Amino acid sequence: MANPHAGEVALWIDDRRHVLKLTLGALAELEAALQADSLMALVERFEGGAFTSRDVLALIVAGLRGGGWQGTADDLLSAEIRGGPVEGARVAALLLARAFSRPDQA
């Protein structure tokens, strides 16, 4: 079970439930992958609805890696996310929210 107080979010990929979490290492990997000016700029993109599918994929990969997954973005290119792209974007946004807020706020 995903623990929201620990910043975790669950996502079903290829009929398997995964727990995602943005650890410090996952955040550093995310920042490098997106070549973002800052993580706050990424948060602002999500808050303003100006995120891209690349942003969503990078967040999901970082969250999966923070949850212990050993795959890469290439492993997800043909993967089936339960709920489709909308669920992927929702989970990515929730992951960011939980990483940068107190547990009672996310």
Structure tokens at 51: 């995120």
Q: Please, is 98 exposed, middle or buried when counting C-beta atoms within 10 Å of its C-beta (0-12, 13-18, 19+)?
A: buried
pTM equals: 0.85
Domain locations in the chain as residue ranges? 4-99
Q: What are the counts of helices (DSSP H) followed by strands (DSSP E) for the chain?
A: 5, 2
Per residue of the chain (106 residues), what is the pLDDT tens digit?
788 888 899 999 999 999 999 988 888 888 888 777 777 877 787 888 888 888 899 999 999 999 999 998 899 989 999 999 999 999 998 998 888 776 565 5
As a whole number of angstroms, the distance between CA 70 and CA 6 comes to: 20
C-alpha dihedral sign at 82, 38, 62, 57: positive
